[in-house]
Copies of this chain bind each other. A is one copy, B any other.
């Protein structure tokens, strides 16, 4: 009962008994006996206000419990204090952790985050990028999967856009990502250094847009550099990027009669799905097959076999994304930039030691 919707007919009366009425600058001005603008000046920390006046107004502000009406402020200033973050899938812990990092970074600048998910579907991504889903935002951070260059080219919109993730567009937008090719090469290099010779890649996306292409390229380049064949038969394409897709892809490779001694997965959930399949089929990780994932999500650290993974600096990515949007909003920010975030390879049990089979003679 206490907090039901209550509104007095006469706006401007002070709050009492825990019931809130909206109090506006006008009310505060009346209470303090000054003009509305002066109250506004105090609220906005305008420079030229005498300490005495400031204190007097502040007292009224506190007494009445004034809280600015953001809609009005927005209408006047054209700013909302909200940025949107559109991610493919919240179910993937990488994106969930990234979202948390963006929310925290935004919060430091007094910005609030409106979260949306696209399911990685072009249609949804288009809607988001055109601003049809959320229209009260100052800026947009988008992690696209299927979106094409032309979809973004004619984005008729003045809301600053910052792109996240692996997709690479030749367009004048800020783009924040780790160096996916280099990171993939580091992962494959690690496997090769362990004596692995047949490295499969799971998670190349079906369809024309090939969002996973940078990681596939890294895989190919590193194998080639090591003088090993980059056998495209060992690249398994999938429809999605979840645990189940990883499991499917792993089964697919094994069913084809191949028995790679290492697997590099597009991301951790897929790697974990693949490991489950290996377990079901009696293959040991890492002895028979080493596995490397991507994203370093928390669950990779608690399986029966902990997962080696490429670990992007999520906190940095979130922070950089927010800062880029805000910079562009304020017309600071030079040319659109491609920003590289840090990453590192975290080695765990899934790549511990040399292969059992290939090195059987050692035993």
- Report which A residues bind B (CB closer than 8 A): 1-7, 15, 18-20, 65, 67-72, 74-75, 80-82, 89-91, 93, 95-97, 99-100, 103, 107, 112-117, 133-136, 153-158, 160-161, 172-173, 242-243, 247, 269, 272-273, 275-276, 279, 298-299, 301-305, 328, 331
Contacts and interface: CB of A to CB of B under 8 A. Distances in A.
Contacts of A153: 2
**Copy total for this chain:** 2
A273 B306 CA distance: 11
Contact of A276 (B18, B279, B304): B304
B247 A302 contact: yes
A112 B117 contact: no
Given A71-B71, A134-B112, A303-B304, A161 B100 contact: no
Nearest to A303: B303
Given A90-B96, A91-B100, A115-B115, A303 B331 contact: no
Contacts of A97: 90-91
19 contacts: A3-B158, A4-B158, A5-B331, A19-B156, A67-B135, A70-B135, A70-B136, A71-B71, A90-B90, A93-B96, A100-B117, A112-B133, A269-B299, A272-B299, A272-B303, A273-B302, A279-B304, A303-B303, A303-B304
A331 B65 CA distance: 26
* Highest count of chain B CB atoms <10 Å: which of A20, A107, A115, A279: A115
A80 B134 CA distance: 11
A136 B136 contact: yes
Contacts of A156: 3, 15, 18-20, 65
B3 A243 contact: no
Given A7-B158, A18-B155, A113-B114, 7 more contacts: A20-B157, A82-B114, A82-B136, A91-B97, A136-B136, A243-B298, A276-B302
